[in-house]
Copies of this chain bind each other. A is one copy, B any other.
Amino acid sequence: MTDAHVGLAGQLSRLPQRQVLSDDVYETVKGLIMDSVVQPGTRLNIDALTRELGISQTPIRESLARLESDGLVIKEPLRGYRVSSRLTRDEFDDLFEYRLHIEPWAAGRAAQRAGTEDLARLKAEMLSYTDVPDRPAYESYRAMAAHDQRFHDLVLELSGNETARLSFARTHCHLHLFRLYYGGGIATKALREHKTVVTAVRKGDPEEAAAAMRAHIEASRARLRPIFDQE
């Protein structure tokens, strides 16, 4: 289901969401980008996509227009679209510096504001991910990445600042991070760190929640940063 992108007004249509073809294509292409089925920097050819997906150009053009505004593809007028590149080292550093500004504060605010139902949602999210030992490494990582994204989005939601949540969502942080690294093996530490954040939020201790989130993001950065040293 496409997430309803809404403006700052936050007004969702009261109608149940109707899915049109361009929404499906949007999710499909976004998934191809996320999974690096389409390599960073490669061309997205509209005619080729019409053949592969068996649909006409119009929903493809519309979905590419949205992906362009999302920053996931780059339009080269009269030449086609290109998938945005993987994060460079500088962009990675910028992203985490930005996260360190927004997310510890958000965790602190969540600790201040969270009610019983909010805490139940956090608990449910923590329980939604269980590592299955036999699962292929890629699948495991994909599931963990999806959980990670939901978890961080939820903390931002519980902070009560919709601008911050939307701004973070629009960085497509987890999509970019997911494209950097495919391996498994980091879920255990990340989950432990998530748990520490939730414990602090449950206690209603803003400073502890902020510190836990800061520690988690710094650790996450440390886990991923060596990717750039390999090049």
Residues of A within 8 A of B (CB): 4-13, 15, 17-20, 22-23, 40-41, 58, 61-63, 65-74, 76-79, 82, 84-88, 90-91, 94-95, 97-98, 101-102, 105, 160-164, 166-168, 170-172, 176
Nearest 4 A/B pairs, CB to CB: A7-B84, A69-B69, A9-B85, A7-B71
How far is B85's CA from A193's CA once the two chains are assembled, in angstroms? 39
Q: Of B62, B101, B176, which contacts A65 at CB under 8 A? A: B62
How far is B79's CA from A9's CA once the two chains are assembled, in angstroms? 19
How distant is A98 from chain B, measured CB to nearest CB, in Å?
4
Neighbouring B residues of A4 by C-beta, 8 Å: 74
Select the residue from A7, A11, A101, A166 with max chain B CB neighbours within 10 A: A7
> What is the total number of copies of this protein in its complex?
2
B98 touches A161 (CB 8 A): yes
A77 touches B11 (CB 8 A): no
Q: Of B68, B91, B105, which contacts A8 at CB under 8 A? A: B91
Neighbouring B residues of A13 by C-beta, 8 Å: 74, 76, 82
Neighbouring B residues of A166 by C-beta, 8 Å: 71, 171
A6 touches B65 (CB 8 A): no
How distant is A26 from chain B, measured CB to nearest CB, in Å?
9
Q: Of B5, B22, B77, B160, which contacts A23 at CB under 8 A? A: B77
Q: 9 other contacts beyond A6-B84, A9-B87, A11-B41, with CB at 8 A cut-off?
A: A11-B85, A20-B77, A65-B69, A66-B69, A68-B69, A97-B163, A101-B102, A101-B105, A170-B170
